[in-house]
Amino acid sequence: MKLYQDPQAVNPRRVRIFLAEKGIDVPFENLEVLKGGHRDPALVAKNPMMRVPFLELDDGTVIAESMAICRYFEALQPEPVLMGRNPVEQAGIEMWNRRVEHQLLGSVINCFRHGHPVMVALEPNQIKEWSVLNNTRASEMLGFLETEMASRPFIAGAEYSVADITALAAVDFLRAARLELTDDHPNLRRWHADVSARPSAAA
Ligand SMILES: N[C@@H](CCC(=O)N[C@@H](CS)C(=O)NCC(=O)O)C(=O)O
Q: How confident is residue 36, by pLDDT bands cut at 50, 70 and 90? A: very high
pLDDT at 20: 98
pLDDT of residue 152: 98
| Structural domain containing residue 70 | 2-76
Tell whether 82 is covered by a domain. Answer: no
51-75 pLDDT per residue, tens: 999 999 999 999 999 999 999 999 9
| Residue range 31-38: mean pLDDT, rounded | 96
pLDDT tens digit string along 81-133? 999 999 999 999 999 999 999 999 999 999 999 999 999 999 999 999 999 99
Single-letter amino acid, residue 72: Y
Q: Are residues 196 and 101 in the same domain?
A: yes
Ligand 1: lining residues by beta carbon, under 6 Å: 9-11, 33, 38, 50-52, 65-66, 122
List, as one string, the DSSP characters of the chain: -EEEE-TT-HHHHHHHHHHHHHT----EEE--GGGTGGG-HHHHHH-TT--S-EEE-TTS-EEESHHHHHHHHHHH--PSPSS-SSHHHHHHHHHHHHHIIIIIIHHHHHHHHHH-GGGGGT-SS--HHHHHHHHHHHHHHHHHHHHHTTS-SBTTBSS--HHHHHHHHHHHTGGGGT----TT-HHHHHHHHHHHTSGGGG-
Q: What is the number of the ligand 1 atom nearest to the C-alpha of 39?
A: 17
Q: What is the mean pLDDT of residues 182-203?
A: 98
Instruction: Determine the pLDDT at residue 186.
Output: 98
pLDDT confidence of residue 109: 98
The reported pTM is 0.98
**132-189 pLDDT, tens digit each:** 999 999 999 999 999 999 999 999 999 999 999 999 999 999 999 999 999 999 999 9
Is 48 found in the same domain as 68? yes
On whether both 118 and 176 belong to a single domain, the answer is: yes
For ligand 1, what atom is nearest to the CA of residue 69?
Answer: 20
Separation of 145 CA from ligand 1 center, angstroms? 24
Q: Are residues 177 and 111 in the same domain?
A: yes
Which atom of ligand 1 has the smallest separation from the CA of 15? 20
Cβ neighbours, 10 Å, residue 189: 16
In sequence order, the β-bridge partners of residue 56 are 2, 62
Q: Is 194 exposed, middle or buried (0-12, 13-18, 19+ CB in 10 A)?
A: middle
Nearest one of 53, 71, 58 to 4, comparing CA atoms: 53
Q: What's the gap in Å between 151 CA and the centre of ligand 1?
A: 32
| Domains contained in the chain, number | 2
Answer with the one of 14, 46, 76 that is the final residue of a domain.
76
Other C-beta atoms closer than 10 Å to the C-beta of 83 total 21
Residue 181's contacts (CB-CB under 8 Å, 6 or more residues apart) are 142, 171, 174, 188, 189, 192
Same domain, 71 and 91: no
What CATH number should be reported for the domain holding residue 139?
Answer: 1.20.1050.10
